[in-house]
Amino acid sequence: MGAVTPLLQIAAGQQANAIGKYNQDVSNRNATVAEQEAAQIEKQKEFDIARFDQKFVQLQGETKTSIYKSGVEMSGSGLNIMRYNAEQAQLEKNIITYNSKVEASKKIEEANFARMSGSLARMQGKQAQMGYYAQAGSSLLKTFG
């Protein structure tokens, strides 16, 4: 009976270490997923800007057509409308870019936190393992010492 307890404690130590490693692996996987999501946000931004540019070109074309149909020259108020539309388009693209950077940064931070959590889980598993090993050694000393 005296040797059984240390063997169980050693097994518990190995299990604690395995659990810590598993939790670290899960956290690392979560970090990888968050990084992939950040990359996807960047791709979505590029798509959104391209789609916006396409719609803007169409809007500018429609605006020019309306200006010409009204008999107004492409100067003065007609030109001001075109310039205003271009300024608003740039502002909208800046907003799309800013929002995507904020979201991507959140995902990168999420990935960093997941990796830190994984490292902590691994350290806790190793500490628990050492604790069980110390208990096993103490039990052996009491039994055979």
Which tens digit of pLDDT belongs to each residue from 55-80?
999 999 988 888 888 877 767 777 88
Which residue ranges make up each domain of the chain?
Answer: 4-144
CA–CA separation, 120 vs 127, rounded Å?
10
Backbone angles phi, psi at 75, to 5 degrees: -150, 175
User: In what helix (H) or strand (E) does residue 13 lie, and over which residues does it extend?
Assistant: helix 4-69
Backbone angles phi, psi at 74, to 5 degrees: -80, 60
Q: Specify the pTM.
A: 0.74
Mean pLDDT of 106-110: 97
